[in-house]
Amino acid sequence: MIPVIALVGRPNVGKSTMFNRLTRTRDAIVANHAGLTRDRKYGEGRVGDHRFMLIDTGGISGEEEGIDSEMANQSLQAMDEADIVLFMVSARDGLLAADHLIAKQLRQRGKRVYLVVNKIDGHDPDMALAPFFELGLGEVFATTATHGRGVTSMMEEVLEQLPAPEPITEAQPKGIKMAIVGRPNVGKSTLVNRMLGEERVIVYDHPGTTRDSVYIQYERFDKPYTIIDTAGVRRRKNVSATVEKFSIVKTLQAIDDANVVILVIDAQEGIVEQDLHLMGTVIDAGRALVIALNKWDGLDEAHKKFVKNELDRRLRFVDFANTHFISALHGTGVGNLYKSVEEAYHSATDKLSTSFLTQVLQDAISEHQPPMINGRRIKLRYAHAGGSNPPIIVIHGNQTAKVPAHYVRYLEKTYRRALNLRGTPVRVVFKSSD
Ligand code: GDP
Ligand code: GDP
């Protein structure tokens, strides 16, 4: 499981700057909660071989009231879900009362905390760090988030110290792993219950933190499937009340660990920003995708037409995924999801032969030559598979760093068609021999 790191601190200490430096997520997921002055952001980062999920918790001062205390609660939830907290302070401001209050909150929660003294630029590091040792929070790092100084070495050390994940000794759940994800109240629990129906289920409740999803294995027509339950249908025994039913961390981890994501959208509400963000995350993660427009019952014809138009307009970027109109409540259309799940899974994981991939490449090139760069034509020679779920196609040639984006898209489209890929993103990457 990918570790979760939360950035915590007063407003203005440099959390966003740090977040942007550490994440490569194209489009960070933003959790908007009505009325909050600042949103939490979720993104994914990588340092060396370590991947991690990063949360910018928004600013807290530790003494919020009213609307601010609501925001602070959101930040505290994010903190609870994290494996590691990076507590950021500012060398420019020195140690303030609010820092003490936040430190107290962190100590009470017994989290693995590192103190990050940011804005160290223009300061003598030893002098700047000294006052903060008073917080008594263990290891202290000095950074300049704006220029990246100290950031990579800090992350290496922090990630290095993560305890190894508990070895899983029990049997692993079998079959295609499907994550059922979506905003609160779209009908995930109803759908999970409907899919499980009367099936005999085995619940895998691996040791882990309360934020982890439960894995439910069952059989349908003698085939095993596993649902990664983000909706809390089969709740963990030790789930604490402080972890909300809907958790973005849980959702992102489920996406990360799934073969196929079933993204549930509430047709009666229509497509909203957070649905699109979730879709973007599924694509970034390279996961196979099936879209379920739920609550299709209770829509009149005009409304159905409107929703279908919205789909055409706003979901063009996921036109590789099948869309189903279902009613989890009545069971209508639910069985049909499996056909798309199977198709997406096979598209995402079937073996691809080097000779076929190379043949497709050569056909694509004879149809459309790659462009000339400085009087020399880009040469693409052969292709082979570089991974699955998502399928990755590695193309070898010369000057491959110069292949223009439109030509990459052309190759992706050609492969998608030739391999008959449905329901999965596909990635074309290059290896240069010059
Ligand atoms: P947040 O409110 O904690 O997310 O803080 P921001 O990331 O928005 O940063 C607040 C301000 O501090 C911005 O103007 C940043 O450019 C600036 N800033 C962030 N990190 C550094 C740093 O390491 N050094 C300096 N000099 N300024 C910084
Ligand atoms: P979750 O938060 O995504 O797990 O959503 P729930 O499964 O708890 O459903 C939220 C509400 O939507 C409940 O009142 C359900 O009865 C209702 N609901 C779920 N699926 C459907 C559906 O297909 N049609 C209708 N009309 N209501 C549904």
Does 308 carry a binding-site annotation? Answer: no
Q: Which of 194, 275, 303, 329 to mutate to test the pocket of ligand 2 (most atoms within 8 A of CB)?
A: 329
Q: Which residues contact 136 (CB under 8 A, 6 or more apart)?
A: 103
Name the average pLDDT for the chain. 86
Does 45 carry a binding-site annotation? Answer: no
The confidence score (pLDDT) of residue 57 equals 79
The continuous run of DSSP H or E covering 384 comes out as strand 379-387
What is the average per-residue pLDDT within 359-374? Answer: 94
Give 186 Cα–ligand 2 centroid separation in angstroms: 6
83-106 per-position pLDDT tens digit: 899 999 999 999 999 899 888 888
The confidence score (pLDDT) of residue 366 equals 96
**Cβ 322 under 6 angstroms from ligand 2:** no
What is the average per-residue pLDDT within 417-432? Answer: 94
Whose tokens are 């997406």? That residue is 344
Tokens of 408: 């990459």
167-205 per-position pLDDT tens digit: 666 677 889 999 999 998 999 999 999 999 877 777 776
- Taking the CA atoms of residue 324, residue 325, residue 330 and residue 333 in that order, the dihedral angle to the nearest 10 degrees is -40
Residue 296 has pLDDT above 80, yes or no: yes
The confidence score (pLDDT) of residue 36 equals 40
Q: Which residues of 286-324 are buried (b: 16+ CB within 10 A; e: fewer)?
A: bbbbbbbbbbbeebeeeeeeebeeebeeebeebebbbbb
Residue 26 has pLDDT above 50, yes or no: no
Give the lowest-confidence range in 15-19, 102-106, 208-212: 208-212
**Cβ 190 under 6 angstroms from ligand 2:** yes
pLDDT band at residue 39, thresholds of 50, 70 and 90? Answer: low
Nearest CA to ligand 1 atom 9: 14
Ligand 1: atom nearest CA of 11 is 2
Going by C-alpha positions, the residue among 406, 408, 403 that lies closest to residue 393 is: 408
149-166 per-position pLDDT tens digit: 999 999 999 999 887 766
Tokens of 32: 């908007």
Q: How many CB atoms lie within 10 A of CB 166?
A: 10
CA dist 185 and 11 (Å) reads 32
- Answer with the residue of higher pLDDT: 253 or 237: 253
CB 258 within 8 A of CB 287: yes
- Answer with the residue of higher pLDDT: 339 or 243: 339
**Cβ 408 under 6 angstroms from ligand 2:** no
Going by C-alpha positions, the residue among 27, 33, 35, 107 that lies closest to residue 74 is: 33
User: What is 29-74 written as a DSSP string?
Assistant: EEE--TT-SS-EEEEEEEETTEEEEEEE-----S---HHHHHHHHH
- Answer with the residue of higher pLDDT: 200 or 288: 288
Tokens of 228: 């990664």
Q: How many CB atoms lie within 10 A of CB 227?
A: 29
ipTM > 0.95? no
CA dist 311 and 314 (Å) reads 5
What is the average per-residue pLDDT within 214-243? Answer: 77
Does 188 carry a binding-site annotation? Answer: yes
- Answer with the residue of higher pLDDT: 110 or 405: 405
User: What is 270-322 written as a DSSP string?
Assistant: ---HHHHHHHHHHHHHT-EEEEEEE--TT--HHHHHHHHHHHHHH-GGGTTSE
The confidence score (pLDDT) of residue 37 equals 41
CB 288 within 8 A of CB 426: no
**Cβ 186 under 6 angstroms from ligand 2:** yes
CB 67 within 8 A of CB 58: no
**Cβ 189 under 6 angstroms from ligand 2:** yes
**Cβ 145 under 6 angstroms from ligand 1:** yes
Distances in whole angstroms, Cα of residue 427 to Cα of each of 319, 359, 379: 16, 17, 19
The confidence score (pLDDT) of residue 207 equals 59
**Which residues are bridge partners to 46 per DSSP?**
51
Does 379 carry a binding-site annotation? Answer: no
Tokens of 390: 């998502």
**Cβ 39 under 6 angstroms from ligand 1:** no
Whose tokens are 């295609």? That residue is 176
The confidence score (pLDDT) of residue 201 equals 79
CA dist 207 and 217 (Å) reads 17
The confidence score (pLDDT) of residue 362 equals 96
Cis-peptide, bond into residue 224, ω within 30° of zero:
no
244-264 per-position pLDDT tens digit: 567 788 888 899 999 999 999
Strands 140-142 and 112-118, how do they pair?
parallel
Give 162 Cα–ligand 1 centroid separation in angstroms: 27
CB 348 within 8 A of CB 389: yes
What is the average per-residue pLDDT within 334-357? Answer: 96
Does 89 carry a binding-site annotation? Answer: no
CA dist 68 and 62 (Å) reads 10
The confidence score (pLDDT) of residue 237 equals 57
- Percent above pLDDT 90 for the chain: 57
What is the average per-residue pLDDT within 351-363? Answer: 96
Judged by its nearest atom, the ligand closest to the C-alpha of residue 247 is 2
CA dist 42 and 328 (Å) reads 29
* DSSP secondary structure letter of residue 116: E
For the chain, what is the radius of gyration of the CA atoms? 24
Helix (H/G/I), strand (E/B), else coil: 389: coil
372-384 per-position pLDDT tens digit: 988 999 999 999 9
The confidence score (pLDDT) of residue 198 equals 73
pLDDT band at residue 34, thresholds of 50, 70 and 90? Answer: very low
- Answer with the residue of higher pLDDT: 73 or 427: 427
**Cβ 329 under 6 angstroms from ligand 2:** yes
CA dist 358 and 360 (Å) reads 5
Going by C-alpha positions, the residue among 5, 10, 8, 12 that lies closest to residue 119 is: 12
Residue 131 has pLDDT above 80, yes or no: yes
Give 317 Cα–ligand 2 centroid separation in angstroms: 27
User: What is 1-38 written as a DSSP string?
Assistant: ---EEEEEESTTSSHHHHHHHH---SS-EEE--TT-SS
CA dist 91 and 152 (Å) reads 19
What is the average per-residue pLDDT within 286-306? Answer: 95
Task: Count the alpha carbons within 13 Å of 32 in the hemisphere toward its beta carbon.
Answer: 8
The confidence score (pLDDT) of residue 35 equals 39
**Cβ 420 under 6 angstroms from ligand 2:** no
The continuous run of DSSP H or E covering 362 comes out as helix 354-367
